[in-house]
Amino acid sequence: MSNQKKPKLEELPRCPDCGGNQFVTDPSRGEIICMNCGAVIEEHMIDDGPEWRAFTNEEKGRRARVGSPSTLSLHDKGLSTEIGWEDRDVYGKRLSPQQKATMYRLKRWHTRSRVSSSMDRNLVLAMSELDRLSSQLGLSRNVKETAALIYRSAIERQLIKGRSIEAMIAAAVYAAARLRRVPRTIDEIANNSRVSRKELGRSYRLLVTELQLKIPPPNPVDYIVRFASELRLSGRVTRRAVNLLSKAKAKGLTVGKDPTGLAAAALYIASILEGERRTQREIAETATVTEVTVRNRYKELVKQLDIEVSAF
């Protein structure tokens, strides 16, 4: 590749309201929300491409769009596929050094890969399963491509031999979704494939250790947007919930807690506060936790954050 990276300073995208540089996106609604103050930054985002029109300079925008659609997830197009060296994730947020290292490693393994016929046969099966799974889960192309990349790397490392393709694909999808910060729960993935939660967990662990994937710790905020849109809650509720969670985080209420449970509780409170009440049951269901967990979390939040109890 002649694309040698020139050292240059790029400005980080900043929230015009509070100057924060952490964002969360809702691809289905086309919104980008500041994780710090909850402001909606961009309302007409197109799909989930790496482009960030409002903040990024022209050059980067051009680069992000160059070339035909990536074909990593087609089993026989791998040889002509290149993995970009873009150092930002789908939100335009800069990748952490760990993530950068991860992507670099994957890229190296990928370019080293040589297609043998048995690998080819494996990939045909694997990629069709990947197609099925990711469309069932409504995953973006980015996530799918990342999963394909992980899977290929796994083959390279001989991790697949003697293990089920389904399990490894499921694990790759789970890892990819988390890597790209659009997490799905283990249950969601397990329910859409024939792999058990347990096996999925095992395979995932294997991938993480063997490929030295650097997966960022789960962030409950990443779940809020998705749950909110599944529950048909307004952007206002979403923002309120995000806000709530960042306060909770500041108070250290979030450590060791199930991120989906936290997201659910924040949404529950926000939905009531904003007059769009949903039942605990509805929320628990879409967050795949129990009502009990929603209750426990929201009790804690209400207590610790001094929320108007009158609303309840």
Contact footprint for DNA (CB under 7 A): 197-198, 201, 256-258, 261, 277, 279-281, 288-293, 295-297, 299, 312
Judged by CB, which is closer to DNA: 123, or 262?
262
Measured from the CB atom, the residue of 66 and 309 that comes closer to DNA is: 309
**Minimum separation from the CB atom of position 256 to DNA (A):** 4
Minimum CB distance to DNA, residue 140 (Å): 26
Separation of alpha carbons 31 and 40, rounded Å: 7
- Going by their DSSP bridges, the two strands 31-34 and 40-42 should be labelled as antiparallel
Q: Which residue shows structure tokens 């996106």?
A: 25
> What values do phi and psi take at 146, rounded to 5?
-65, -40
- Which one-letter amino acid corresponds to residue 311? A
Residue among 51 and 282 whose Cβ is closer to DNA: 282
Smallest separation, CB 205 to DNA (Å)? 8
d(CA 172, CA 105): 15
What's the min distance (Å) between Cβ of 311 and DNA?
Answer: 11
In the numeric block, the tokens 């809702």 are attached to 26
Alpha-carbon span 294 to 280, nearest angstrom:
7
Neighbours of 196 (CB within 10 A): 12
Nearest to DNA of 109, 268 (CB atom): 268
**CA 150 to CA 160: how far, in whole Å?**
12
- Strand order from edge to edge, sheet including 40-42: 23-26, 31-34, 40-42
Q: 25 vs 254, which CB is nearer to DNA?
A: 254
The CB-of-15 to DNA minimum distance in angstroms stands at 29
Looking at the Cβ atoms of 162 and 256, the one nearer to DNA is 256
CB of 44 to DNA, least distance (A): 34
Helical H segments across the chain, by residue range? 58-65, 97-112, 117-136, 141-156, 165-179, 186-191, 197-210, 220-230, 235-250, 259-273, 280-287, 291-305
Residue number, 92 or 261, with CB nearest to DNA: 261
In the complex, what is the shortest distance from the CB of residue 277 to DNA, in angstroms, rounded to a whole number? 7
